[in-house]
Chains A and B, each alone.
Chain A
Amino acid sequence: MLSASFDWVHLGLGLILSFTVAWINSGHSPFVPNFRLWGKIILYIPWLFFRILQSSLHVTKLILHPALPIDPKLIHVKTKLANPAAVVLLGNSITLTPGTITAEVEPDALIVHALDDISAEDVTSGRIESKIAEVYRNGE
């Protein structure tokens, strides 16, 4: 598909190879794909991108400030999400947002390193978590 050649030999070979690889690797992962969920996640991405834009402007302001007014700290965040895939999505979203980064994942808590108070406010207020909980509750 990536080589932009659409004749039957390449398409058939690609289909056979991808199914073989998926079949060999299928025993390892506990993650079961749920196709109704993907639509919800695709709707979740623009909201996440808006959050990324907002907080990256904040981090830019922090870096370009002459006095460098940062106050980094480690905070513990309790999560109520039961699904492992939801915790993975939460950790990825926190790390992808500039200003906060996930340092350690435990079964019911995350250790998050935040750059200053306003960045930490995003995580402790639980807005991302409630959004992800809404996605996963409606999907199941």
Chain B
Amino acid sequence: MKIFFLCILLIIAVLIGAYLYRVIRGPTIFDRVLGLNGISTKAIILLALIGIVFERMDMFIDISTGYALLNLVGALAVAKYLEQKGLP
């Protein structure tokens, strides 16, 4: 069972690499913001999986809650700033 969760964890890490390609090579800056949003959703799932593998679920799920809240505030701030500034 632990091997199964480790495989899932590895596959999600590879998928984060795909989003990272979009963040680095994105033609416009909005692609980068969108890629960061996708990475953060994956990071929440990844944290829950790490909690199951290490059997410390009570700690890691709190970390993922905090990560989700920080992601909301950060993404909204970046979107508001870009909306006022226009396309660079």
Contact = CB atoms under 8 A, between A and B. Distances in A.
Answer yes or no: A and B touching, Cβ < 8 Å: yes
A131 to B, nearest CB: 27
Interface string B47-84: 00000000000100010010000000000000000000
Interface secondary structure of B, over-half rule:
helix
Interface of B: 58, 62, 65
A4 to B, nearest CB: 7
Determine the interface band of chain A, counting residues with CB < 8 A from chain B: under 10
A22 interface: no
Contacts of B58: 4
Contacts, number: 3
A2 interface: yes
B18 to A, nearest CB: 13
Interface secondary structure of A, over-half rule:
loop
A76 B65 CA distance: 36
A4 B59 CA distance: 12
Interface of A: 2, 4
A42 to B, nearest CB: 22
Contacts of A4: 58
3 contacts: A2-B62, A2-B65, A4-B58
B57 to A, nearest CB: 11
The 3 residue pairs across chains A and B that have the minimum distance between CB atoms? A2-B62, A4-B58, A2-B65
Nearest to B65: A2
A2 B61 CA distance: 10
A4 B65 CA distance: 15
A4 B58 CA distance: 9
Contacts of B62: 2
Contacts of B65: 2
A2 B62 CA distance: 8
Contacts of A2: 62, 65
A102 to B, nearest CB: 14
